[in-house]
Amino acid sequence: MLLPSHFHREVNMSVVVANDIRKSFGPLEVLKGVSLNVEAGEVIALIGRSGSGKSTFLRCLNGLETVDSGLIQIAGHAMSRKPAALRELRRDVGIVFQSYNLFPHLTAGENIMLAPVQVKGETKVAARDEAQRCLSMVGLGDRFDAYPDMLSGGQQQRVAIARSLAMRPKVLLFDEVTSALDPELTGEVLAVIEDLARQGMTMLLVTHEMGFARRVADRTIFMKDGIIHEGGPSAEFFTNPRTPELQAFLRSEIG
Amino acid sequence: MRTFGSPEFFFIFYALRWTLTLTAIAFVGGGLVGIALAVMRISSSKALRVATSAYMQFVQGLPLLILMFICYYAPSLFGFEVSAIAAAAVALTINSSAFLGAIWESALRAIPKAQWESADALALHPFKVLRFVIAPQAIRLAMPSTVGFLVQIIKQTSIASIIGFVEITRAGQLVSNATFDPLKSFLAVAAFYFAVCFPLTQLSLWLESRAAKRGAHA
Ligand SMILES: Nc1ncnc2c1ncn2[C@@H]1O[C@H](COP(=O)(O)OP(=O)(O)OP(=O)(O)O)[C@@H](O)[C@H]1O
Ligand SMILES: [Mg+2]
């Protein structure tokens, strides 16, 4: 496909390019033209009310949802419906879910080793070292042999992050990864994400943690009714929200 | 006239290997076809889903006895003679495949969609998703009912006696006819069925309670 030359330049600089993404579930239009560029090393927070399309947008970025129209380029891959091309893309794009979704029949270490061995063809020995390293990064170096149901929610979520990290992704997507956790456990997960931010990982995170978004995200994006209603550098975004809708949302979230 | 003695007892005992052989064929053959059916039932191809569903419904709606008659007599319409064991093995395999397919299909469906999704998101090939993520969990789920169905197969092999295959039920009939002592003959047969089935039903119960007690990795 031929793209206009200005678009090519954008593609080369950005890790994520989403251009005019539209998506409907039946008669319900959930994304009504979302465009977003993310540069390497940027951390983007996505906020908005329930049903505004945040998860759907995130899931479009790694092909878990198909888009009706619009363009997605991510980690150097064009979005595709072809299974093989989609798998290539997903090697470079990790996602962490609200409900952790660890594989319950595998230990923490085995959860992490699975994709490197089965997708990248790494040896078990190399994958084991890498899994151990990833577990240590999330502060669980001593829980390699623990099964998920022996771990707390916060620990499971950190294993899920380690599982994504083991593929050495170029982008990580987080969908409300602390929303299922008791308040006293959110801190340990957020600390891991903050650590990744410091190391320069490119991340998009849907979150309800306003303080965290403000502190860690380079930019924050407010989604409303399937569009990006307002967005900008986090400091400015939270101090001087421009639209009344964002002002109202922030009031309701921060209380 | 003969009385029921140890030769009669051993006659039935030796026929046990044919009961077990038929069981093994039906379980392995039906299991292999059943795996294929279960996987096709959850495939994305509508044609495959409909075709496999039709097959399973059809077989499940057919008495095994009739299926066995069909397998025994139908080939002769085309000029083939099949042995009783071949007809019984095919009928039992067809029957088991439909039921095992249904058991495993529901086990596969019981694995949360989120498991498929997170495995997909890790770039695993669909076959590897099935092999390493879904199947191990589904197998654990289906284990108790699979062993339970194995017990059914053992008992269903008795129907092969109708087409003259000498497994233990037929052996019991023969002994009964020779000794005019049906009670002893069939009590002996019953004892053999029980001896084989009882440990398996216990195993099935144990698997079930273990699955209920322990977590998914049990
Ligand atoms: N698979 C689906 N089928 C039908 N409707 C869906 C599906 N997924 C999402 N929706 C609908 O799309 C809308 C947007 O959902 P989405 O999950 O993207 O919202 P969200 O911003 O992530 O909300 P939340 O904060 O509750 O997670 C909602 O109205 C939701 O009910
Ligand atoms: Mg959501």
Among residues A166, A143, A177, A155, the alpha carbon closest in space to that of A46 is found at A177
Averaged pLDDT for residues A26-42: 96
pLDDT tens column, A216-233: 999 999 999 999 999 999
* Test mutation, B43, B111, B122, chain A, max A CBs within 10 A: B122
Closest CB to B217 among A97, A105, A118: A105
Residue boundaries of the structural domains of chain B: 6-211
Q: Counting atoms of ligand 1 from 1, which one is nearest the CA of A226?
A: 14
**B66 touching A, CB under 8 A?**
no
Measured distance CA(A203)–CA(A220) in Å, rounded: 12
Across the strands, what pairs with B128? none
In a domain, A157, yes or no: yes
Does residue A113 belong to any structural domain of this protein? yes
Q: Is the pLDDT of residue B22 over 90?
A: yes
Q: Does B117 touch chain A (CB under 8 A)?
A: yes
Residue whose CA is at the smallest distance from ligand 1 atom 12: A30
Helical (H) or strand (E) element with A25: strand A14-25
pLDDT value, residue B213: 75
pLDDT for A7: 44
Domain assignment of residue A226, yes or no: no
Instruction: Say which CATH architecture domain B6-211 belongs to.
Output: Orthogonal Bundle (1.10)
Q: Return the ligand number nearest the Cα of A26.
A: 1
Q: How close B146 comes to chain A (CA, Å)?
A: 19
Q: How many domains does chain A fold into?
A: 1
- A136's CB contacts (< 8 A; 6+ apart) are none
Give residue for tokens 């956790």. Answer: A181
Backbone angles phi, psi at A136, to 5 degrees: -65, -40
Determine, yes or no, domain membership for A48.
no
Give how far Cα A25 sits from Cα of A31, A70, A191, B85, Å: 10, 16, 35, 55
Question: Which H or E run contains A171?
Answer: strand A171-175
**A105 in Cβ contact with A113 (< 8 Å):** no
Domain of residue A140: give its range: 103-168
Mutation site, A118, A130, A149, interface B, largest B CB count within 10 A:
A118
Report yes or no on A156 lying in a domain: yes
**Residue B181 near residue B46, CB atoms below 8 Å:** no
Pocket (CB within 6 angstroms of ligand 1): A 25, 30, 48, 50-56
Mean pLDDT value of segment A110-117 = 98
Which residue's alpha carbon is at the smallest distance from atom 24 of ligand 1?
A50
Integer Cα distance of B175 and B189 in angstroms? 10
Task: Collect all residues of chain B within an 8 Å Cβ-Cβ radius of residue A87.
Answer: 123-125
pLDDT confidence of residue B217? 57
What was the pLDDT predicted at A206?
97
Q: How close are the terminal C-alpha atoms of chain A, in Å? A: 49
As to burial, measured by CB atoms within 10 angstroms (0-12 exposed, 13-18 middle, 19+ buried), residue A85 is middle
Across the range B16-29, mean pLDDT stands at: 97
CA A150 from centroid of its chain's CA atoms: 26
**Residue A15 alpha carbon to ligand 2 centre in Å:** 22
What is the arithmetic mean of pLDDT over A219-248? Answer: 96
Query: Is the Cβ of B125 closer than 8 Å to some Cβ of chain A?
Result: yes
Asked if B137 and A147 come within 8 Å (Cβ–Cβ), the reply is: no
| Per-residue tokens: B104 | 């495993």
- Confidence band, pLDDT 50/70/90 cuts, at residue A3: very low
pLDDT confidence of residue B75: 93
Interchain pair A97, B216: CB under 8 A: no
The residues, ordered by sequence, that sit 6+ positions from B113 with a Cβ below 8 Å of its Cβ are: none
Segment B87-106, tens digit of pLDDT: 999 999 999 999 999 999 99
pLDDT value of residue A254: 75
Compute, in angstroms, the gap from residue A31 CA to the centroid of ligand 2. 13
Closest residue CA from atom 28 of ligand 1: A51
Say which residue the tokens 């200005």 belong to.
A6
With b meaning 16 or more CB within 10 Å and e meaning fewer, what string describes B30-54?
A: bbebbeebbbbbbeeeeeeeeebbe
Model pLDDT for residues B137-181, shown as the tens digit of each residue: 999 999 999 999 999 999 999 999 999 999 999 999 999 999 999
DSSP A168: -
> Which H or E run includes A17?
strand A14-25
